[in-house]
Structure 1
Amino acid sequence: MHANAPWSPLTLGALTLRNRFIKSATNEGMAKGGVPSKALVEHHRQMAAGGAAMTTVAYCAIEPDGRTFEDQVTLDAHSLPHLRVLTDAVHREGAAASAQITHGGAFTFLPRLANSKYPLSASGGFNSVGVISGRLFKTAMTRAQMDHIAETFVRGAVHAREAGFDAVEIHMGHGYLLSQYLSPAYNHRTDDYGGDAVRRARFPVEVLTRVLDAVGSDMAVVCKICVTEGHKKGASIEDVMVTARALEAAGAHLLVLSGGMNVEAPWAIFGSNMPASAVEVIQHPVMKFATRLMRLVEPKVTFRELYFREHSQQVRGAVTMPLAYLGGAKSLAGVEQVMGDGFDAVVMGRALIHEPQLVNQFRDGTTTVSGCTACNQCVTSMYTAAGTHCVLRGAADPAPNQRPAAA
């Protein structure tokens, strides 16, 4: 596998990126009442100004019932003027903007649902992830509901294009709806969409195909998957390789390789534990309780750079399509290592929240290692009035997060 230069351009479908650095989708907490704020615009503008080739707006729900919280963006006509302000700001800095399009399925904390009594999922019955939110049951999706959701993903992608986004990232990981199809822990169907890894991947592939048909000639269409779910009942690496091959065959322009599950193994997502102090900044009562509960059962995990590398290398060996490495890259040496492994891009989250100028600093030689300590307090800062920020940089101003982006 050839080594890729981190500063060389990368072409993904109709999109060419200026380098190989992508800001990951990390929930920002900057859409109070679902309205994108000026803080959200500035957050992503800084990532673009700091040298990243593309910045990803996290969790853009494809319909209101697809949100996990009320304070999340829904890709609809009401959000478009605000999101256009964001994409214009990113483009002025010479970078591309990606919208992560998703649906939470059984993983939701909404007080009420508009279209169903119980949240949708691959399979019905007891909803273990809903214990902390009071949603004890879930509904197995019918064929008609699957068609509706697939078309809603398409509509979300079209809205993203109208808002000026250059790419969409279809979220198929971390325990949201499409990963509930991929995961044997969630998917117990006995029809063509359940059973072995090939059948479990069928509905996510259908969603990808419809999105590609709608916007694939104009936008990069990216899929985010988990290389490991981080728990014993999750998909095996062999299952993941089957999924990657199916997404490659369907024509995805890029796979972002992540890992971990929001409920079963959140520590696996971050490669380290949540600190006790992080719990206290959470203002959302359900999430505060859930985070405390998780801290009681989570194993001790010590951060190491490139913590998904071994799993991701196996996926790299299974497909020839472009792959983006995600998981603890925080040094120029680490970036060069995964580029040497044959990955086509590096996706970074906490390191860029700590220092949005990090990519420029890597390029200029002024920094070779991020100062991010993986303390994970930025993860829970999304629940504060100011939204996601690095606590090592001091307090963040909450005022821009109270003003709509297009105001």
Structure 2
Amino acid sequence: MDHDNNTSRSPFSPLRVGPLTLRNRFIKAATNEGMSIDGVPSKQLVRFHESMAAGGTAMTTLAYCSVSHDGRTLPGQIVLQPDSLAHLRVLTDAVHRHGAAASAQITHGGCFTFMTQRSTPRPLSASGGFNKIGMLSGMFRKQAMTEADMDQVVREFAQGARLAREAGFDAVEIHMGHGYLLSQFISPLYNKRRDAYGGSLENRLRFPRQVLRAVLDAVGRDMAVLCKYSITEGVKGGNQPEDGVAIARLLEAEGANMLVLSAGMNAESITTMFGSSFPKENRVRPSNPLVAAAMAIQQLRERPVDFRELYLLEHSRRIRQAVKVPLAYLGGVTSLRGVQQVLDEGFDALALGRALIAEPDLVAKFAAGASQQGICTACNRCVAMMYTPGGTSCVLGAPGDPVLNAQAAAS
């Protein structure tokens, strides 16, 4: 694909991603919604993603589908297992009814978990030792993965992708960012290994690339295979923008169909991810005391950051200049003008999170000329709403339905 032409690319033109053709350039980014129960989507989650499809989005991404029970971060999260298929199919059918595609974000939390029940003595990660995330849940130590552990997790990712295909998903997004397991290998903050999986960036990417290769081999003929990663970790001692460029080149070489360009880490640099602070008055008090404590600690650490549109564009441009693989720009898209700027700079798609939570029909409004600017103010209150009975919603609109959120999708 030629990214150097000067002709203005329409955000409403189709886009090919691997074997998949999207109807336009808008993707609903993966956002943890707090709308799953006992490992399956709720009826409220189906309604949420259907609203994205009905509102004109080309593809909606179901966040945090764990490839194993050990891979969950929080209780109730979706697990890709045969028992989940009927419930997941309700969701993909609802999305397909409106002509949109559905993507499953497949992931494993590693040591970034609040789940104390697991099949290993301690949470797995790139390296062993002190587990700062576990301070809140009494899991003070993590254990370094052996090659046998890695082989098993590679198989789990491939099997998770196959199950996603069986459930009707059109794409899978492998989560390699934000401090989850694959990110723990990529990040020098977490990866202190001295074998073939540690040291140089190429070595740190070895296991994530094995996962990507296995997923491509398993489903790549039928599904688009995307990788989401942090182009900068936004923290001293972590990966910097130049590392983000090198990571993109390695994932392109391995055959990823598209890269979703995120940033930051959940524990260390949440403002890098969201591009704005979480003000005190914007906090919803989560009922889970561990999560409340984590959010309080986070607030003590972060410096105030004011939101600006396209806050990750400078870093993302470097990736665009370095690779030819299709790229989805993520980070503060709120206006049609911003959308057009991103496409004119050679990016292929736009991944929107908060803007679509605020207005699920924003794409349709843009297309009809009914709106030039979304209503999202990046207040970040939707993030904390994840822990309310109705799940994630925008505070400017109606809250999620707690009754629907308590019912499994296929029940």
RMSD after superposition:
1.0
Superposed displacement of residue 35, structure 1: 2.5
Question: In the alignment, which residue of structure 2 is the partner of 1:196?
Answer: 200
Q: 1:393 aligns with which of 388, 392, 397?
A: 397
1:323-358 CA distances to partner (integer Å, 9 max, x unpaired)? 000000010000111101100000000000000000
Q: For residue 289 of structure 2, what is the aligned residue in structure 1?
A: 285
Aligned to 1:9: 14
Q: Counterparts of 1:178-327 in structure 2 under 5 Å?
A: 178-327=182-331
- Once the two structures are superposed, the pairs formed by residues 288-367 of structure 1 within 5 Å of their partners are 288-367=292-371
Deviation (angstroms), 1:278: 4.1
Unaligned 5+ runs, structure 1? none
Distance 2:79 2:396 in 1: 31
- Please report how far the alpha carbon of residue 70 of structure 1 lies from its aligned counterpart in structure 2 after TM superposition: 1.1
SS of 1:131's partner is helix
Shift of residue 63, structure 1, vs aligned partner: 0.2
Contact 2:329 2:342 in 1 (8 A): yes
% identity of equivalent residues:
58
Structure 1: how far apart are the matches of 2:216 and 2:243? 23
Contact residue 386 and residue 393 of structure 2 kept, 8 A: yes
Q: Deviations over 1:340-379 (max 9, x none)?
A: 1100000000000000000000011110111111111100
In 2, the alpha carbon distance for the partners of 1:4 and 1:322 equals 14
Look up the equivalent residue of 2:346 and give its one-letter code: G
SS in structure 1 of the partner of residue 83 of structure 2? coil
For residues 48 and 394 of structure 1, the distance between their equivalents in structure 2, rounded to whole angstroms, comes to: 19
**What does the per-residue CA deviation read over 1:212-258, in whole Å, with 9 as the maximum and x for residues that have no partner?**
00100000000001111111111122211111111101110000000
Q: Contact 1:53–1:96 (CA<8 Å) still a contact in 2?
A: yes
Superposition map of 1:88-167 within 5 A: 88-113=93-118, 115-167=119-171
SS at match of 1:317: helix
Checking the alignment, whether the CA contact within 8 Å between 1:172 and 1:224 is kept in structure 2 is: yes
Following superposition, the deviation at residue 128 of structure 1 comes to 1.9
Q: CA deviation at 1:279?
A: 3.4
Question: Distance between the aligned counterparts of 1:87 and 1:315, measured in 2?
Answer: 31
One-letter amino acid of the structure 2 residue matched with residue 376 of structure 1: N
The residue that corresponds to 1:384 in the other structure is: 388
1:80 equivalent to 2:85? Answer yes
Cα distance in structure 1, aligned partners of 2:398 and 2:24: 30
4+ long deviations beyond 3 Å: 277-281
Distance, in Å, in 2 between the alignment partners of 1:297 and 1:132 is 16
Q: Which amino acid aligns with 2:402?
A: P
Quote the Cα distance in structure 2 between the aligned partners of 1:171 and 1:394: 30
**Can you list the C-alpha shifts for 1:269-291, whole angstroms capped at 9, x where unaligned?**
11111122443431111000110
Q: Which amino acid aligns with 2:78?
A: V
| CA shift for structure 1 position 33 | 2.4
3-state SS in 2 of match to 1:324: strand
Question: Does the 8 Å CA contact 1:32/1:72 hold for their aligned counterparts?
Answer: yes
Counterpart Cα distance in 1 of 2:40 and 2:253: 37
Secondary structure of residue in 2 paired with 1:403: coil
Give the superposition deviation at 1:262: 0.4
Moved more, 48-57 or 287-296: 287-296
Aligned ranges 1:47-58 → 2 under 5 Å = 47-58=52-63
**1:129, CA displacement in angstroms?**
2.3
Counterpart of 1:169 in structure 2 is: 173
> What letter corresponds to residue 143 of structure 1 in structure 2?
E
| Correspondent of 1:19 among 24, 44, 66 | 24
SS of 1:282's equivalent in the other structure is coil
Q: Distance in 2 between matches of 1:396 and 1:247?
A: 37
Q: What is the match of residue 404 of structure 1?
A: 408
Q: Is 1:41 aligned to residue 41 of structure 2?
A: no
Q: Is the partner of 2:322 in helix, strand or coil? A: coil
How far apart are the structure 2 equivalents of 1:82 and 1:265? 34
Partner AA of 1:398 in structure 2: P
What is the CA-CA distance between 1:170 and the residue it aligns to?
A: 0.2
Q: How far apart, in 2, do the equivalents of 1:134 and 1:203 lie?
A: 28
Q: Do the aligned partners of 1:354 and 1:392 also contact (CA within 8 Å) in 2?
A: yes
Letter of the aligned partner of 2:82 in structure 1?
A: A
1:396 CA displacement: 3.0
Q: Which amino acid aligns with 1:139?
A: Q
Structure 2 distance, partners of 1:351, 1:279, is 19
- Structure-1 separation of matches of 2:28 and 2:398: 21
The reply to whether residue 369 of structure 1 matches residue 373 of structure 2 is yes
Q: TM-score, normalised by structure 2?
A: 0.97
User: Which whole-Å CA distance do the structure 2 matches of 1:147 and 1:358 have between them?
Assistant: 42
Q: Which amino acid counterpart does residue 52 of structure 2 have in structure 1?
A: M
Structure 1 counterpart of 2:149, one-letter code: Q
Partner-residue secondary structure (3-state), 1:262: coil
| Further displaced range: 15-24 or 388-397 | 388-397
Q: Is the 8 A contact 2:232 2:240 kept in 1?
A: yes
**Residues of 2 paired with 1:332 and 1:320: CA distance?**
25
TM-score normalised by the chain length of structure 1? 0.98
**Unmatched runs of 5 consecutive residues or more in structure 2:** none
| Alpha-carbon distance in structure 2 between the residues aligned to 1:142 and 1:288 | 33
